[in-house]
Amino acid sequence: MRGPRLAVVLLLAVLAGGTAGYMIVEGWNAWDAFYMTVTTVATVGFREVHPLSFGGQVFTVVLIVCGVGTAFYTVTLLATIIVEGGLHQRFATRRAGRMLEQITNHFILCGYGRIGSIVAHELHQQGVPLAVVERDPDRVRQVVEKGWLALEADASREEVLAKAGIHRARGLIAAVGTDAENVFTVLTARVMRPDLFIIARVESDDAEHKLRRAGADRVISPYQIGATHMAQTALRPAVVDFVQLATSSERLDLSMEQVRIRNDSALANQSIVDAGIRQRFGVIVVGIKRTGGAMEFNPPPEAIMRPGDELVVLGRTESVKALEKEKGVVA
């Protein structure tokens, strides 16, 4: 016990000890003894409740020496907490805890380093709710200053992921410092949510199969992706520019998204041309990911959209959102 709690406990102990002392030394009732203790510790200068004996005077001197210092320490510490924002921080922490209990369909981002901060920015730009789990207090402070939810904790612990709302989450992104930490985080998350979509960052080649065996749905190597992107930019700069334009969160006039066809969708079991996706919504179907995992690129107009398929569509943002609002279609 330390800090403000210790100060309050010490002050209460002085008040209780002073009250008991006057009751024993002077034989006063509880209220008179408590009143005398408070006026003495507060140094307000009121007269004695009753005339003091020599023993009572000695006890009062001891109470002044001990009690005034304790009261001064307590008041100073509490004032410092209020002035420096500690009280505000406590309220903000409680508010964040309540928000974590209510957040749904969000991503849990484990790690807020160089990769994690970029991921968080992209999710925020896309309007996707997120909760960051980070052990570094300075990085947690940066997240809170941006207005996002954050937990200063170890992401590999079950109680931490539960507090971050893993049972209500849309997915989890493991981007902590080392491959070993990512493996433990992915394994813990997979045990808690067998159906959760999990993405993991990997640094070394030999750790990729460990992350997949731990339960990661996707394993991403920033170095491999960066090198591939540089090579593609050198060979096909116009293609890279187009893909970046379609997937970037900075440009809101064009969007490439994926939507899933549910069983109750009006588009289910219809061909692309019969459903009139291009005419009704103004979007282009550039690919269909079948329920079995196969991907069909540039599907013909006669391609049938079956329940469970995921359409990769390209179009203006408002057109894509209109398709997402169609009954039985899930983004």
What is the domain-level CATH number for residue 278?
3.30.70.1450
Reported as type and span, the H/E element at residue 37 is helix 30-42
Mean pLDDT, residues 4-24 taken together: 87
111 and 205 share one domain: yes
144 and 214 share one domain: yes
Contact residues for 288 (Cβ-Cβ < 8 A; gap 6+): 295, 296, 299, 303, 305, 309, 310, 311, 312
Instruction: Quote the mean pLDDT of the chain.
Output: 85
Asked whether 311 and 258 are in contact (CB, 8 A), the reply is yes
**Can you name the residues that pair with 152 across neighbouring β-strands?**
134
Residue 56 lies in a domain: yes
List phi, psi (to 5°) of 203.
Answer: -105, -50
Residue 246 lies in a domain: no
Residue 47 lies in a domain: yes
Would you state the pLDDT for residue 129?
92
- What is d(CA 100, CA 105) in angstroms, rounded to the nearest whole number? 12
Question: In total, how many domains does the chain have?
Answer: 3
pTM, 2 dp: 0.63
| Helix, strand, coil fractions of the chain, as percent rounded to 5 | 55, 15, 30
- The pLDDT tens digits for 29-45 are 999 889 888 888 888 76
Contact residues for 325 (Cβ-Cβ < 8 A; gap 6+): none
**Would you tell me how many other CB atoms lie within 10 Å of the CB of residue 277?**
24
127 and 51 share one domain: no
145 and 212 share one domain: yes
pLDDT band at 330 (very low <50, low <70, confident <90, very high): low
56 and 111 share one domain: no
Residue 72 lies in a domain: yes
| Residue 1 confidence (pLDDT) above 60 | no
Q: Nearest 5°: CA angle at 146, between 141 and 149?
A: 70
215 and 315 share one domain: no
Residue 115 lies in a domain: yes
Mean pLDDT, residues 138-151 taken together: 88
- What is d(CA 30, CA 52) in angstroms, rounded to the nearest whole number? 16
Q: Give the residue numbers spanning the domain of 32.
A: 3-83
Residue that is written with structure tokens 């550039």 in the block: 286
